[in-house]
Structure 1
Amino acid sequence: MDRMLFLAMNGAKHVEWQQATTSNNLANVNTNGFKAEQVSFRALPVIGDGAPTRTYVVDNTVGTDMTQGALQQTGNQNDFALGTPGFFAVQAPDGTEAYSRAGGYVIDNAGTLRTRSGLPILGDGGPIVAPAASKVQIMTDGSVVAIPLGESNPTPQTLGQIKLVNPGERTMYKGEDGLFRMNDGSTPQADQNVKVVVGSLEASNVNAVDSLVQMISHGRMFEMNVKLMTTAEQNDQQATQLLSMS
């Protein structure tokens, strides 16, 4: 009875985790550049006499679906997306270099280019800063150009180049803050093959319909495991009554 209760409890715990992951994905269906999280499990046999065919579930991997989301044209020159696999570099709140695909930028009072969430966008030499009274443009290779305003023949000034990287999906992980980092903590080199699409944003790659279906399936699996726990408790009570009678 105890083994049956343990198996059902273990199953319910992992289904609850799956449900939480799916719910988080669904909540970010409209978040630009969001990559769906994936949770996979594997079955292990129960070791012990009388249970050669029983298995229980353990955590296997927590990964990220790196499929590119649809590119949505906005017409806003302050929006940009990556049209190829890869990431652009940002400065995380702890000061380290991290990576994102959630394009679009704003310019703060100091002239620093920041993401819509407020993180500085990094070039090869650090944050990119635009001079006052200038119009900023981003090129397809990530170059950032400033055009002075109020001049008859303005001369464009190259401010730097957004650091674009593509070290490979398996070499990176997604942190709790939604930013990507290298598994070994290293800093990848810039990749010239990563291209920028100006005037567009990358949509979330979460499929809302699939996520809803998964949530329904997870709910039914959770109920089944709870019923198994209830059945195990009832069987235990009935067994106790029989022993008392005997």
Structure 2
Amino acid sequence: MDRFLYLAMSGAKENLYAQAINNHNLANANTHGFRQALGEAYTAPVRGPVYDSRDYVQTGNEAIDFTHGALQSTGRDLDIAIEGEGFIAVQAPDGGEAYTRAGNLHIDALGMLRNERGLPVLGDGGPIAIPPNETLLIGTDGTITVRPVGSAPNALAAVERIRLVNPDVKSLKRTEDGLIRAGDGQAPPADANVRVVTGMLETSNVNTVAALTKMIELSRHFEMQVKMMESANNVEQNHNRLLAIG
């Protein structure tokens, strides 16, 4: 009987975890460049001193779905979207390098180029600083060109080039701070083949209809596991009554 109970208990526990993953995806359905998380469940035997007598349900490490989102036109000069494969490199709060597909950039009061989370955007020489300018253009290769304040209309100057990378997505992981990083901790080299389009932003790849349907499905699975636990408890109580009679 305990096997029945433990199996139902582990199933309910992992269903709650799967619901948390799905809810996190739904919460970021409108986050630009967000990549939904996937939870994979499997059975794992419980190792005993003699032989494996129990199987539990386990959810593996969260995988990331790197399917591309749709591109939306904004017309804003500091909005960029990756065309095809690749990522924009940003500086994480701990000083390390992280990667994003969200290209809604802005320039802070000190002239630093940052993404929507306030993280500095990286160039070939580190965080990018933008000098005072009258116009700013971002080329398809990530090169930032400005016309300094007070200069002639044709006096353009290249400031820096946004660091664009294209690592193997299988080597990437999402850390607890929600940032995507290289799994081995080694920053990949810049890739000259990665292209960006200006005046566009990439949407999240979360399918809200599918996520809502999955939410209902997971809720029903959880209720089924709880009912199994209740059934195991009822059967155990009946066994105890029979033993008491004897």
Q: Report the Cα distance in structure 1 between the residues aligned to 2:94 and 2:178, rounded to whole angstroms.
A: 14
Q: How many corresponding residue pairs?
A: 244
- In the TM superposition, residue 46 of structure 1 has moved relative to its aligned partner by 6.9
**1:16-95 map, 5 Å:** 16-44=16-44, 55-95=55-95
Q: Does 1:15 align with 2:12?
A: no
Find the residue that maps to 1:225 and give its secondary structure. helix
Whichever residue aligns with residue 68 of structure 2, its letter is Q
1:111-133 deviations in Å (ceiling 9; x for gaps): 11111211110001101111123
How far has the Cα of 1:25 moved from its partner?
Answer: 0.4
Amino acid at match of 1:198: T
Counterpart amino acid of residue 203 in structure 1: T
Structure 2: runs of 5+ lacking an equivalent: none
Q: What residue in structure 1 maps to residue 204 of structure 2?
A: 204
Alignment partner of 1:103 is 2:103 = yes
Contact kept? 2:91, 2:121, Cα under 8 Å? yes
For 1:57, the aligned partner's letter is: V
1:207, 1:138 → 2: CA distance?
30
Deviations 1:141-179 (A, max 9, x none): 000111123333441111111000011110111122222
**Compared with structure 1, are the counterparts of its residues 96 and 143 closer, same or farther at alpha carbon in structure 2 (3 Å cutoff)?**
same
Q: Percent identity?
A: 47
Contact 1:5-1:229 within 8 A present in 2 as well:
yes
Q: Is the 8 A contact 1:148 1:154 kept in 2?
A: no
* 1:80-159 superposed matches below 5 A: 80-159=80-159
Matched residue SS, 2:60 = strand
Q: Is the 8 A contact 1:41 1:61 kept in 2?
A: no
CA distance in structure 1 between the partners assigned to 2:71 and 2:147 by the alignment: 27
Calculate the TM-score normalised by the size of structure 1. 0.94
Shift of the 190–231 alpha-carbon distance from structure 1 to 2, 3 Å rule, reads same
RMSD after superposition: 1.8
User: 1:188: how far off?
Assistant: 0.6
The residue that corresponds to 1:161 in the other structure is 161
Contact 1:130-1:136 at 8 Å conserved across structures: no
